[in-house]
Amino acid sequence: MIPDGSGEPVEYEHIRSAVLGWFRVNARPLAFRATSDPWAILVSEFMAQQTQAARAAEAWERFLVEFPTPPALADASPAAALRAWRGLGYNRRALSLRAAAREIVDRHGGHVPTDLAALDALPGVGPYTARALAALAFGQRFGAVDTNVRRVLGRALFDEMPGARELQGAADEIVPADGPGEWTHALMDVGATFCRPRNPRCAECPIQPWCRYAARSRDRADRGSAATPPKRRAGKPAQTPFESTSRWLRGRILDRLRDAAPSVWVSFADPIGSHPPATVASALARLASERLVETRDGAPAEARLPID
């Protein structure tokens, strides 16, 4: 790519215009995109870390009714945070978000910090979430690189997938000075809609005219290599039924505790689904070691959500 007078590749402005033009017509209607409140955006980013965006958006609205500010969550018990997290899975995120809220209260006067380093230092916040929050909540020119964005920019801008530092530099450079938050959402939607890990929809993608990956695909097609039948892949091994997994069992334990009255000890002496008492006991012990539950002294088969 040839730099223009600003020092950036000339394709960047074309890519920005094409992506934003497409996004303004086709943006996914996710509830949390309508807010500019830094706390609400931070909550949405925690929820979307390992959960589909549409599912996270539904839980996000309920969560903010109960915890509309960092102090509201900071003052709540771990049990209250876990109850409000129901349906999202990966429940340690609820405790990390509560820990972040407490640090926001203790170190930042109850307001989400604007500085990137301070954001990155919050519990549960890594480089991606910090940059996403800086762009979405504060309009700062940082590129938020998650798995999808890494794939989009790595394919579009490079002949081979670059290292993390080089890719992050390109992601920061291509962010428009005006509207970094809109760009962040737009690039994520391009990744979710077109630039899939397998069978990307290059012909429909707004970046296609400037994308190096798409150009290589066109070259292969012109040479006739696209007509070569793909190699047969070995059959996938049969998947383990979800109900027999540890993740399923952990979810059922936590849901049973969510349904119980606060502070009430619940017995787990019986099987749960196909899991015998010994397996249930092991799952309880693991949950207790992660501070997602408390087990009763002298009665390890009895548990409750943590109240401290």
For residues 32 and 206, give the distance between their C-alpha atoms in angstroms, rounded to a whole number.
24
Asked if 262 contacts 83 with a C-beta cutoff of 8 angstroms, the reply is no
Rounded to an integer, the average pLDDT of 269-273 is 94
263: its two tokens: 């502070």
Split at pLDDT 50, 70, 90, the class of 223 is low
* pLDDT at res. 301: 92
Global pTM value: 0.86
Q: Are residues 175 and 50 in the same domain?
A: yes
CATH of the domain at 88: 1.10.340.30
- On the question of pLDDT at 123 being above 50, the answer is yes
Chain-centroid distance of CA 128 in Å reads 9
If pLDDT is split at 50, 70 and 90, which confidence band does 218 have?
A: confident
Has 45 been annotated as catalytic? yes
What is the per-residue pLDDT for 229? 38
Q: Of 24-38, 84-98, 222-236, which gets the smallest average pLDDT?
A: 222-236
Same domain for 180 and 296, yes or no, is no
10-50 pLDDT per residue, tens: 689 999 999 999 999 999 888 888 899 999 999 999 998 87
**pLDDT confidence of residue 222:** 64
Are residues 143 and 65 part of one domain?
A: yes
> What's the confidence (pLDDT) of residue 26?
95
Classify residue 221: in a domain, yes or no. no
- Res. 236: pLDDT tops 90: no
Domain count, the chain: 2
Please report where in the chains the tokens 């549409």 appear, as a residue.
54
Percentage of residues in the chain with pLDDT exceeding 70?
91
CB-based contact 91:82 (threshold 8 Å): yes
Of 178, 193, 208, the residue at which a domain comes to its end is 193
Going through the chain in order, the beta strands assigned E by DSSP cover: 266-267, 294-296, 299-304
Q: Which of 8, 13, 45, 173 is catalytic?
A: 45
pLDDT at 275: 96
Q: Residue 295's domain spans which residues?
A: 247-304
Q: Verify that 145 and 283 share a domain, yes or no.
A: no
Q: Are residues 163 and 26 in the same domain?
A: yes
Question: How much is the pLDDT for 232?
Answer: 43
**Could you please report the per-residue DSSP string of 142-184?**
-----HHHHHHHHHHH-SS---HHHHHHHHHHHS-SS-HHHHH
Q: What is the per-residue pLDDT across 142-157, written as a single tens digit (0 to 9) for each?
A: 999 999 999 999 999 9
Asked if 290 and 306 count as a contact pair (C-beta separation under 8 A), the reply is: no
Tell me: do 162 and 294 sit in the same domain. no
User: How confident is the model over 75-89, as pLDDT tens digits?
Assistant: 999 999 999 999 888
Domain assignment present for residue 287? The answer is yes
The answer to whether position 227 is within a domain reads no
Percent of the chain at pLDDT exceeding 90: 77
